[in-house]
Amino acid sequence: MNIVFIPARGGSKSIPLKNIKSFCGKPLVFWVANAALQAVKVDKIVIATDSAEIKDTVNALNFEKLEVYDRNPINAQDTSSTESVMLEYIGAAKIDPESTMILLQATSPFLKATDIDEGLDQLAASEKDSLLSCANIKRFFWQKDGNPMNYDFNHRPRRQDFDGALIENGAMYINKVKNIVANENRLNGSIDIYEMPEYTMTEIDEPDDWVYAEYLMKKYLLKKEKKEIQLFLSDVDGVLTDAGMYYTEEGDELKKFNTRDGKGFELLRNANIKTGIITSENTKIVERRAQKLKIDYLYQGKEHGGKLAAALVICKELNIDLSEVAYIGDDVNCYELLTHVGYAACPGDAVDQIQSIPNILRLNSKGGEGAVREFVNILLS
């Protein structure tokens, strides 16, 4: 059995509760847990924590193969070693000594599923005892006595001709359970090296690391090739309207829509892109507007996770993925869906939490003033 083990204690002082702090729109621990979930060769994922908040956040991920282990507070102190909680879990869960444990650390979020699978294959092929990941860094290192460590200064190599040096990046360690128990160490014996790109050397320990790591994540891992859009979804209040609430003297509710947005939906329809409205409101006004715009899907009365659930229902019917969906929203109840779709946008007057979503397109137009049309123009161009 191949078991991924992720320690996630709650007592970080430099960045409080950093393991679940939002990193590129997700809790930090999400990234390595998701890599483990996608890895073909992983049988079980264990996140060991002493924090109720971290436990709740991890359970809310609803990842298959993932379980939370309540680590002993004794092994969650500032001075506690990672090995102490690994050994605690192995003993408490009575893990088969022949099982393989893959130690991952949330503070190294650049690990991919392929790294885990390839690392396991590499260790098996090498017939060595254990493996760790390292970043290949092409820098010149010196000793304090004035002697170079990894090059000859009389023959300074060009960067493209320089092999560089390997630095432990903290992302992945692989070993047999029996070796971990016998040596009380994540590594032992003959050690193999799994090489990763230079940017993966960044580990998140301080606030400055966090800022730089988010930049690297967006540059190297989140910059994906966009899929063709199959479905366009929109919120209503604050997007198709100006979020104003208008009433007649008789108490009838009115909403102000923008005709340019209506033309945007027509352009989408002409481009064979399905359209939908998902809103927390539940009014006849929205129903009539959707009919006039010839919207394909209308879901009313949907809040927070309900919006994402509605989008998933549509995706299932169309046999498409969320990466093929565009969505525009403006308030906190749109957050979950905006962070899951392939194309996310918000009006220029959206709330700060929405505007701060990584990679979201912040439009110039305000809600009800042609924001949808602006988004459509960008998508179709």
| Tokens 């790591």, residue located | 213
The stretches of 81-176 forming alpha helices (DSSP H) are 82-93, 113-126
| CA 270 to mean position of chain CA atoms | 34
What pLDDT does 251 receive? 66
Query: Which pLDDT score is estimated for 254?
Result: 74
Mean pLDDT of 67-83: 93
226: pLDDT confidence band, cut at 50, 70 and 90? low
Q: Which of 63-77, 164-178, 239-253, 254-268 has the lowest mean pLDDT?
A: 239-253
pLDDT of amino acid 302: 85
Architecture of the domain defined by 231-380: 3-Layer(aba) Sandwich (3.40)
Q: What is the rounded CA–CA span in Å between residue 318 and residue 297?
A: 11
DSSP 8-state code for residue 93: H
Burial 106-139 (b: 16+ CB within 10 A, else e): bbbbbbbbebbbebbebbeeeeebbbbbbbbbee
Task: Give the span between the Cα atoms of 8 and 102, in whole angstroms.
Answer: 15
Name, of 97-101, 159-163, 228-232, the range with top average pLDDT. Answer: 97-101
What number is the average pLDDT over the span 18-26? 90
Mean pLDDT of 79-84: 94
Residue 359 pLDDT greater than 90, yes or no:
no
Q: What is the DSSP letter of 36?
A: H
Give span(s): CATH 3.90.550.10, the chain: 2-220
Q: What mean pLDDT do residues 196-212 have?
A: 93
pLDDT of residue 305: 73
Q: List pLDDT tens digits, range 121-165.
A: 999 999 999 999 999 988 899 999 999 998 888 998 887 788 888
Q: 11 or 378, which is more confident?
A: 378
Segment 179-194 mean pLDDT? 97
Q: Return the pLDDT at 159.
A: 77
- Assign 101 a pLDDT band (cuts: 50, 70, 90): very high
CA distances from 285 to 23, 141, 237, 258, 288 (A): 39, 69, 12, 14, 5
Asked if residue 371 has pLDDT above 80, the reply is yes
Give the helix ranges, DSSP H, for 64-222. 82-93, 113-126, 177-183, 207-220
Asked whether the predicted pLDDT for residue 225 surpasses 70, the reply is no
- What is the pLDDT at residue 55? 96
The answer, yes or no, to whether residue 184 has pLDDT greater than 90, is yes
* Token pair belonging to 299: 């879901």
The residues facing 211 across adjacent strands are none
Predicted confidence (pLDDT) at residue 229 exceeds the cutoff of 80: yes
What's residue 224's pLDDT? 55
Across residues 304-314, what is the average pLDDT?
88
More confident: 11 or 171 = 171
- How far is residue 192 from each of residues 123, 129, 189, measured CA to CA in Å? 7, 8, 10
CATH number among 3.40.50.2300, 3.90.550.10, 3.10.28.10, 3.90.76.10, domain 2-220: 3.90.550.10
Q: What is the pLDDT of residue 357?
A: 85
Average pLDDT estimate for 94-103: 97
Tens-digit pLDDT profile for residues 241-282: 987 777 766 667 778 889 999 999 999 999 999 999 999 888
- Residue 198, pLDDT score: 93
Q: How confident is the model at residue 287 (pLDDT cuts 50, 70, 90)?
A: very high
Per-residue pLDDT at 211 exceeds 80: yes
Residues of the chain with CATH 3.40.50.1000: 231-380
Cβ 204 vs Cβ 19: under 8 Å: no
Question: What is the reported pLDDT for 272?
Answer: 95
Phi-psi region of 49 (alpha: psi -120 to 50; beta: other; left: phi over 0): beta
User: In this predicted structure, what is the pLDDT of residue 163?
Assistant: 84
| 103-132 pLDDT per residue, tens | 999 999 999 999 999 999 999 999 999 999
